[in-house]
Structure 1
Amino acid sequence: MLKMICDETGMGFAAVARVTDESWTACAVQDNIEFGLKPRGQLELQTTLCFESRAARAPIVVDDFARDMTYRDHHTPAIYNLRSYISVPIVTSSGSYFGNLCAIDPRPARVSEARVVRMFEVFATLIAMQIESEQRQWTTEAQLTSERETATLREQFIAVLGHDLRNPLSAVNATAEYLALRSDDTKLVSAGMRLSARCLVCRSSSTM
């Protein structure tokens, strides 16, 4: 995508930048003019026009800084030796701002043409869609991990509970069997049989 931008516009450098309130970070770069910025490289936020594009949530397009009435005295072209510039915000469908798709060159270029601006806007939308897709995938994976951890903890709890219940149940069952053998007392025999039956049910439940 960035190579296509450079090929179609004649711009020497194009990038996808993550722009926040505090930083400008390159996510992807196409550098044909040895600008020197690599992926994960950073620029001082206040020196970039992306900072202003972010604030306005609008594209900034300059064919030639030397002739542009708005930006000819701006510090950005002076710092980076620029003549042409285009930057389009990357905004998700939910309205969340990610950064900018931008291109620069030390020579003038006709980036204000409708077809060029439209190309940048379409590419910015595609990047936003990809970001949203990855975020959904991360959320789904996190939920699955959480569910697996919960299921594992549940199984461990049941296993520990079953183990801890074995000794008390054995003692109760022994008492129940003793009562059931008291043939001289029908009430105790009946109570012992009922208790023994309940112990059997509890044992079955603890091993499930």
Structure 2
Amino acid sequence: MKHLTVEELDAITEIETTSNILRLTTRLTGMRFSAISKMTESYWVACAVHDELHFGLEVGDELRVEATLCNQARANRKSIIIEHASKDPVFWEHPLPKAHGFESYISLPIVFSDGTVFGTLCALDVLPKQLENPQMFEILSIFTRLIGTTLELQRSRA
């Protein structure tokens, strides 16, 4: 876990509702995998994971950042929503959904008050899901603000 500090991991764990946020994310989206990630210029790091899909990622696992769609959410500071990757006009030819076998995906950036991006709240599933739901998106956005605020408070104490 060289890209995730003990303090960051503690702060995420301290969010008493982290497991509930991830479980609720899967319930709201209908997807069976959700995670909170930290992103650096080079790495995506799993900070917390809820995996009913048995996708295989665990806390502390690292991926090259360019091997993730979350990287686009981080770079653009905009959410990514894919309901059916193989039929999506933007992502139907993208290698990542094909390589990892997922059809539905959502990623929301976790942004600090100074504009820096910590990482993402993301979810995915091998089955297509209906994700264009403003109420669901609003709730997930509240989750990212809660996570970001908690991490920022921890960062200011350190």
Matches within 5 A, 1:167-178: none
- 8 Å CA contact 1:13–1:105 kept in 2: the answer is yes
**Aligned partner (choices 31, 50, 62) of residue 70 of structure 2:** 50
Determine whether 1:69 maps to 2:69. no
Q: 1:133-165, CA deviations, whole angstroms, 9 ceiling, x for partnerless residues?
A: 111222xxxxxxxxxxxxxxxxxxxxxxxxxxx
d(CA) in 1 for partners of 2:77 and 2:40?
13
Quick check: 1:14–1:102 contact (8 Å CA) kept in 2?
Answer: yes
The counterpart of 2:157, out of the listed 119, 122, 137, is: 137
Residue matched to 1:81: 101
User: Counterparts of 1:38 and 1:30 in 2: how far apart (Å)?
Assistant: 9
2:155 equivalent to 1:123 = no
Give the Å deviation of 1:112.
Answer: 2.2
> Which residue of structure 1 aligns with residue 3 of structure 2?
none
Give the Cα–Cα distance (whole angstroms) in 2 for the partners of residues 65 and 19 of structure 1: 23
Deviation at 1:44, TM superposition (A): 2.5
1:40, distance to aligned residue in structure 2 (A) = 0.5
Q: Which stretches of structure 1, 4 residues or longer, exceed 6 Å deviation after superposition?
A: none
Shift of 1:96: 1.6
- Matched residue of 1:66: which SS? helix
Which amino acid in the other structure matches residue 73 of structure 2?
S
CA drift at 1:80: 0.7
Q: Deviations over 1:156-176 (max 9, x none)?
A: xxxxxxxxxxxxxxxxxxxxx
Asked if structure 2 preserves the Cα contact closer than 8 Å seen for 1:62 and 1:112, the reply is no
Larger proportion of strand: 2
Cα distance in 2 for residues equivalent to 1:34 and 1:75: 21
Deviation at 1:110, TM superposition (A): 1.1
Q: Which has the higher contact order (CA 8 A, sep 6+)?
A: 2
State the TM-score, normalized to the length of structure 2: 0.84
**Is 1:83–1:107's contact at 8 Å kept on the other side of the alignment?**
yes
- 1:24 aligns to 2:44 (yes or no): yes
Is 1:100 the equivalent of 2:117?
A: no
TM-score by length of 1: 0.64
Identity %: 34
Say how many residue pairs are matched.
Answer: 138
Give the greater-gyration-radius structure (CA). Answer: 1
Q: Helix, strand or coil: the match of 1:133?
A: helix
Q: Which has the higher helix share?
A: 1
- SS for the counterpart of 1:21 is coil
CA distance in 2, matches of 1:136, 1:43: 27
Contact 1:47 1:79 in 2 (8 A): no
1:109 correspondence with 2:137: no
Which blocks of at least 5 consecutive residues in structure 2 are unaligned?
1-20
